[in-house]
Amino acid sequence: MPLEPHAPAWLSELALAYESGAHGQFVLYGNVSDRFPLGGRLVSLTRYLDAQLLAGFQVVFGYDAGNGLSILRGVERLRDWPAFEKIGPMPREPRAALEVVARYLRYRANLRALGRGDDEHVALILRGVDQWLPGGRQGDFEIASLASLIRDFSSEPPYADLPFVSLILADNLNDLHPQVAFNPRVARLRIPLPDVPLLARALAQLRIDHPAAFDPAEGDEMAAQALAGVSISALQSLVRQRAHEKRPLQPADHVQVKKALVEDEASGLVEFIDSHRTLDDYHAPGALKTWLRQDIALWRAGETRALPMGYLFCGPVGTGKTFLVECLAGEAGVPVVKLKNFRDRWVGSSEGNLEKIFRLIRALGRCIVFVDEADQTLGRRDSGSGDSGLSGRLYSMIAQEMSDSGNRGRLMWILASSRPDLIEVDLKRPGRVDVKVPLLPTATVAESAALLNALMKRFGIAPGAEAMTGLALPLLLTPGAAEALAVKIYRKVRTESVDVLTALDDCLRGYQAPVPADVMAFQMRIAIREATDMQFVPEPLRHYGEVAA
């Protein structure tokens, strides 16, 4: 049947594949638990598929672990099946439920072979399949038999010879049994989070249903753009609550609302970095700030071909890698998503978590993805047998996502690490990480004075950089060490009632660098050797990157 004018791309692809005979079984994964606008209502994916694709089918079965087998359409036809009365209550166990469907399809095939009956179209919608056919139980006989039967639906007679379609719904592809998820006779379709046009349609419907939750002066298109990355079901819950409170959503609410909704949907796998800082707040060489500001200007101007796919910020501990990302977030004015711990103890869960993260960042539009401690987070190509290949699988998924050229100018990766030598070379290559920036400690007394004075301003005790240059300020001072020193000075000023310079001089007498000199030198050396451009490295520190003869 013809689809609605605003049908999503995945739905059109599914309809084409079935009507052309290319596929009879589909795995739909991703945003399968969301709501979808349909005829003035927001409905589940099952109802949406039934209305959009299956209206011409005479019999539609549905199954999920909670409700068992159900007949969504065609119960009167099933009553003509001689075995129907013997079935009794519809079975709840997956094997028994699928056997009922298989027996009915064989019955229809026999009628067809005898030249009796019409070409009845039959559909089967299986929901939450990853819950009862998980990828982590491949040696289980019951699971294997279920996987085998579902595979037969896609390619074996008589099922493949009938006008029959099976739709398999799962949250994450990697959580599903691999014999089903990666069956070559199956079409896999990812259902993304709603894009801006779909969100605008959902908002228009929610505005009709719950007018008290909306500001009449705000347009749905503007709100949809601000809320990109939010699921319709989460938005519906929020709107209902706001309507009950008679507290309309305002444009000023969008950032915090989006942050809360997305983090809740992501189940603690990501967090938003909401920063009001800019690059003016970061103490760094002018060459670095100029480069970053030029890239931000290119991004805003839509000059995507000139933009890097990603950055690597590397350098000794305490050099402000995370703080620089916060400043860049405020300067760019785009969402910055920080990956949290997505590794899980259960087989397949880590890959499923990563799928969920990718689904989210694809829906956000322009955004920055920040990976802290990238040497630990991103996995290794070959991690041995210690983790059953988990790190290698995660590495492969991340590498593929980072190298997607379609993300240039839309998605920017930022990796941070004090040990960039431990990050796989392939993840740092151009096309994934194009710009590698070493963040280094101070090289001169004047730089140390300027850095310490900038941090002392936060405490209201800055004496001016010039006033400190006569003191024995340490070299190779990092922002982290300088902040700790500023706190110590402030404490002494408040507890001993001495002036700032006296307190500073007293603190310097017993000062000891928080990072041992040999560790600092090693981390500087590997960071400088990673540098994309030597303009990022101050002249007095360049000798650290020289290879000894």
Q: Does residue 490 lie in a domain region?
A: yes
The yes-or-no verdict on residue 360 having pLDDT over 90 is no
How far apart (Å, rounded) are the C-alpha atoms in residues 47 and 38? 9
**Kind of pairing, strands 59-64 and 68-73?**
antiparallel
The HSE-up count of residue 327 (CA atoms within 13 Å, CB side) is: 16
Name the domain boundary from 191, 220, 249.
Answer: 191
Q: How many domains does the structure of the chain reveal?
A: 4
Residues 240 and 298 both lie in one domain: no
Rounded percentage of the chain residues whose pLDDT exceeds 90: 57
Look at residue 383 and tell me whether its pLDDT is greater than 80: no
pLDDT, position 524: 94
**Averaged over 208-217, what is the pLDDT?**
91
Give the Cα separation of 421 and 484 in Å (integer): 28
What is residue 215's predicted lDDT score, i.e. its pLDDT?
Answer: 87
Query: 294 in a domain, yes or no?
Result: yes
What local confidence, expressed as pLDDT, does residue 549 receive?
A: 40
For residue 534, tell me if it sits in a domain: no
Per-residue CA distances from 327 to 238, 273, 279, 331, 439 (Å): 30, 10, 5, 6, 14
Same domain for 23 and 92? Answer: yes
pLDDT at residue 350 in the model:
81
Does residue 545 lie in a domain region? Answer: no
Task: Using the 3D structure, point to which of 191, 218, 252 is the last residue of a domain.
Answer: 191
Please check whether residues 30 and 13 belong to one and the same domain: yes
Question: Does 216 score more than 50 pLDDT?
Answer: yes
Nearest to 380 by CA among 414, 349, 343, 339: 343
CATH assignment of the domain containing 160: 3.40.50.300
- Say if residue 353 is in the same domain as residue 472: no
Q: Is pLDDT larger for residue 35 or for residue 262?
A: 35
Q: Which of 173, 191, 209 is the last residue of a domain?
A: 191
Q: Are residues 430 and 492 both part of a single domain?
A: no
Q: Which residues contact 241 (CB under 8 A, 6 or more apart)?
A: none
Bigger pLDDT: 253 vs 534: 534
Distance CA 441, CA 513 (A): 12
The answer to whether position 107 is within a domain reads yes
- Under DSSP, is residue 249 helix (H, G, I), strand (E, B) or coil? strand
Residue 217 has pLDDT above 90, yes or no: no
Q: Report the C-alpha gap between 431 and 427 in whole angstroms.
A: 9
Residue 167: its pLDDT value, please?
98
Same domain, 333 and 209: no
Residue 177's pLDDT is what? 92
Model confidence pLDDT, tens digit, residues 292-341: 999 999 988 888 888 899 999 999 999 999 899 988 888 888 888 898 87
Q: For residues 431 and 403, is the Cβ–Cβ distance under 8 A?
A: yes
Average pLDDT, the chain: 89
CA distance 377 to 340: 9
Q: Provide the pLDDT confidence category of residue 139 given band limits of 50, 70 and 90.
A: low
Categorize the per-residue pLDDT at 436 as very low, low, confident or very high, splitting at 50, 70 and 90. very high
Residues 93 and 64 in one domain: yes
Radius of gyration in angstroms for the set of CA atoms belonging to the chain, rounded to a whole number: 30
Q: Which of 303-307, 432-436, 446-450 has the lowest mean pLDDT?
A: 303-307
205 and 243 share one domain: yes
Range of the domain at 187: 9-191
d(CA 59, CA 122): 5
pLDDT tens profile 497-514:
899 999 999 999 888 889
Q: Which one-letter amino acid corresponds to residue 106?
A: R
**20 lies in the same domain as 44:** yes
Q: Is 520 part of a structural domain of the chain?
A: no
DSSP state of 548: P
- In eight-state DSSP terms, residue 67 is T
- Tally of helices (H runs) and strands (E runs) in the chain: 22, 14
Residue 288 pLDDT > 80? yes
Show the CA angle centred on residue 172, arms to residues 170 and 173, nearest 5°: 85
Length of the chain: 549
**pLDDT(1) > 70:** no
Looking at the structure, do residues 397 and 501 belong to the same domain, yes or no? no
pTM over 0.75: yes
Do the domain assignments include residue 529? no
Report the pLDDT value the prediction gives residue 345, as an integer from 0 to 100. 62
pLDDT confidence of residue 384: 56
472 and 494, same domain (yes or no)? yes
546 confidence band (pLDDT: 50, 70, 90): confident
**Strand 25-30 and strand 36-38: pairing?**
unpaired
Question: SS in 3 state form for 307-324?
Answer: CCCEEEEECCCCCCHHHH
| Domain assignment present for 537 | no
Q: Sign (positive/negative) of CA torsion 455, 457, 461, 462? A: positive
Distance CA(213)–CA(246), nearest Å, equals: 6
Is the pLDDT assigned to residue 388 strictly greater than 70?
no
Alpha carbon distance 57, 80 (integer Å): 17
Q: How far apart are CA 24 and CA 340, in angstroms?
A: 39
Q: What is the pLDDT of residues 154-168, one digit of tens each?
A: 999 999 999 999 999
pLDDT at 431 over 60: yes
pLDDT at 389: 67
Q: What is the pLDDT of residue 269?
A: 84
Q: What confidence tier does 284 reach under pLDDT thresholds 50, 70, 90?
A: confident
Per the CB < 8 A criterion, the answer to whether 74 and 54 are in contact is no
Do 163 and 295 belong to one domain?
Answer: no
| Tens digits of residue pLDDT in 222-254 | 888 888 888 999 999 999 999 999 999 988 888
Which tens digits make up the pLDDT trace of 3-13?
777 789 999 99
Average pLDDT over residues 417-430: 91
State the residue for tokens 């036809």: 77
Please answer whether residues 227 and 364 qualify as being in contact, where contact means their C-beta atoms are separated by less than 8 angstroms. no
